[in-house]
Amino acid sequence: MCGIVGYIGHQDTIEILLKGLEKLEYRGYDSAGIAVRNQDGIHIFKEKGRIADLRGIVDQSVEAKTGIGHTRWATHGVPSKENAHPHQSASGRFTLVHNGVIENYEQLKREYLLDVALVSDTDTEIIVQLIDLFSKEGMETEEAFRKTLGMLKGSYALALLDSEAAETIFVAKNKSPLLVGLGDDFNVVASDAMAMLQVTDEYVELMDKEMVIVTKDSVAIKKLDGTAVTRDSYKAELDASDIEKGTYPHYMLKEIDEQPLVTRKIVQAYQNESGELAIDDKIAKAMDEADRLYIVACGTSYHAGLVGKQYIENMAKIPVEVHVASEFVYNMPLLSEKPLFIFISQSGETADSRAVLVKVKEMGYKALTITNAPGSTLSREADYTMLLHAGPEIAVASTKAYTAQISVLAILAGVTAKARGIELDFDLVKELGIAANAMEVLCDAKEEMEQIASEYLATTRNCFFIGRSVDFYVGLEGALKLKEISYIQAEGFAGGELKHGTIALIEDGTPVIALATQESVNLSIRGNVKEVAARGANPCVISMKGLESESDRFVLPEVHKLLTPLVSVIPFQLISYYAALHRECDVDKPRNLAKSVTVE
Ligand code: F6R
């Protein structure tokens, strides 16, 4: 979702901002812009479309030492040049970029800005016009900024330029992520450390309702009441090569291929000195004490949560409910007496999940976050964190984070079982190792998957994924992957549910991808395949070794029955990838989507 960069120093400001924005492209956006300040005033360049389009209109001859930049994912107002950030106040003095949503912007407009001719449909413009208004009333910029922040309801990460303040960026944060990066004779601002890794790896986190006055050699963090805040910086543990595509044509393909390695890394990360799986004692205790677990997540992470429920109930024997965060927050079920909440979030910044976390913390409950992003909001605000160790996931469509979430959930379930005195009848470390090897075999099956994609999906307008038991959950993920990157309407269904309505959609040639990895439901899913085939569908069965039939399209290497999602999802990821390529879709940056969904 929207991304912010800012730079203040002596290097090539425009190029640093543009490169920073390119690094934020993965978050998803539909327009972009930069503003730089020099002795002639503030120069704004903005454009609908990609950073490459913005590069096309930027006047590279403008020399400046201070600047801010933004990628916009439209919320208020269509994607357009007018609505793109930066926004400037009516007087031209202030220029602002914003990430987040201002809930009371209509009210603020009515109360304070009826006389101002607004030029965009955005909530952001209200902020910059208010700052202008208060400064015209005689306030210093810092005071006008603070007064405005005090009036805003909602989420914001802000970077502001004042044409009259020499070499300063005014920054503020509430609920939306923002960092200040430190350099030698320069400082930067970024939504994500990745954006500015090119110039520094030293960052200071900002907390909600803080503002910062950044110059090239000072960073003054303050609370909104003006109290100074001191905070240590940290080194961003990111390797610049982790965020490059290398020889891969797309990040998604690179990230699919990284999955076996990530699984092995996770096992290592959670092994103690004697090679046994171990988690923080406090987490094991909280799990053991809970009478029910509530897994809360969105999208792909929700799908991983469904698999996690199977693991925890099977291994640790604790009842689990899995909920979509955006529903849970407004429609909370009756909670058990001793609940523990588990948030699964690759980015750790998803606003829907965070809204639930804030609510359950207010209710006094404990929470564990499973995330790929140490230091992210969901990690900081929960009581406990388990890391995914997956490395940066750049493609919008989540792949390696999904399998990493499943591996971590398996470890959480296995260790909790042990802590509760339940002996597993299999060796989880060994079985995860076998699964990682099988994942490797599947990553090498690209030609077969490309073939399946071109045979079944090259021209279809829809596609169904069916499965039973855990295969149903993986089917949901397969359908999400396919629809989000290829725009084919794809849905996942429980095999047994088809006859209760969905089968009406089956026409001649409708592709139905069926997963058969579970012995207990093998016969019944094959019955469902026959039902759709009898009505003209074009079934593509992917089964597990030992359960295969002659007509199956692809047979997966055998892994432990609980760990099949780690391998069965890979064909779905690859089929989706090749289907998107066939249809000439932008694989890494699908339309309308954002990587880090920081608005509710
Ligand atoms: C789909 C996808 C999304 C995310 C969802 C939650 O490929 O990536 O469905 O899973 O937006 O994001 P996180 O896990 O960052 O909370």
Instruction: Please report, for the chain, the start and end positions of each structural domain, with discontinuous segments joined by +.
Output: 3-241, 251-442, 445-589
Mean pLDDT along residues 309-316? 98
Residue ranges lining ligand 1, Cβ < 6 Å: 298-301, 345-347, 350, 353, 397-398, 480, 484, 597
DSSP 488-553: -EEEEEEGGGGGGTGGGG--TT-EEEEEE--GGGHHHHHHHHHHHHHTT-EEEEEEETTS--TT-S
Quick: pLDDT tens for 14-41.
Answer: 999 999 999 888 777 889 999 999 988 9
- Residue 281 reports pLDDT greater than 90: yes
The pTM of this model reads 0.83
Quick: pLDDT tens for 502-530.
Answer: 899 999 999 999 999 999 999 999 999 99
Which of 175, 483, 589, 595 is flagged as catalytic?
595
The mean of the pLDDT values for the chain is: 95
For position 237, what pLDDT does the model report?
A: 78
- Residue 254 reports pLDDT greater than 80: yes
Distance 237 CA to ligand 1 centre (A): 22
DSSP 576-591: HHHHHHHTT--SSS-T
C-beta atoms surrounding 433 within 10 Å = 14
Quick: pLDDT tens for 558-597.
Answer: 999 999 999 999 999 999 999 999 999 999 988 888 777 7
Distance 595 CA to ligand 1 centre (A): 7
For position 54, what pLDDT does the model report?
A: 96
Q: Where are the beta strands (DSSP E) in 58-166?
A: 66-72, 87-88, 94-99, 156-162
Quick: pLDDT tens for 75-85.
Answer: 888 999 999 99
The dotted CATH code for 445-589 is 3.40.50.10490
For position 314, what pLDDT does the model report?
A: 98
Secondary structure of residue 314 in the 3-state scheme: helix
Which of 2, 443, 463, 585 is flagged as catalytic?
2
CA 131 to each of CA 117, 545, 570: distance values in angstroms, whole numbers, following the listed order = 15, 65, 51
Which amino acid is it at 57?
I
CATH fold for domain 3-241: Glutamine Phosphoribosylpyrophosphate, subunit 1, domain 1 (3.60.20)
Quick: pLDDT tens for 145-168.
Answer: 999 999 999 999 999 999 998 899
Percent of the chain with pLDDT strictly greater than 70: 99
- Residue 439 reports pLDDT greater than 80: yes
2 labelled catalytic: yes
For position 293, what pLDDT does the model report?
A: 98
Q: Whose CA is nearest to atom 8 of ligand 1?
A: 398
Distance 250 CA to ligand 1 centre (A): 18
Q: Whose CA is nearest to atom 11 of ligand 1?
A: 299
For position 239, what pLDDT does the model report?
A: 73
- Residue 282 reports pLDDT greater than 80: yes
374 token code pair: 């140490």
User: How many Å apart are CA 143 and CA 257, to the nearest integer?
Assistant: 51
Ligand 1 pocket test target in 597, 598, 599 with most atoms within 8 Å of CB? 597
Q: Do domains 3-241 and 445-589 have the same CATH topology?
A: no
Nearest-CA neighbor of 453 among 529, 494, 511, 537?
511
595 labelled catalytic: yes
For position 81, what pLDDT does the model report?
A: 93
DSSP 209: T
Q: Which CATH architecture has domain 251-442?
A: 3-Layer(aba) Sandwich (3.40)
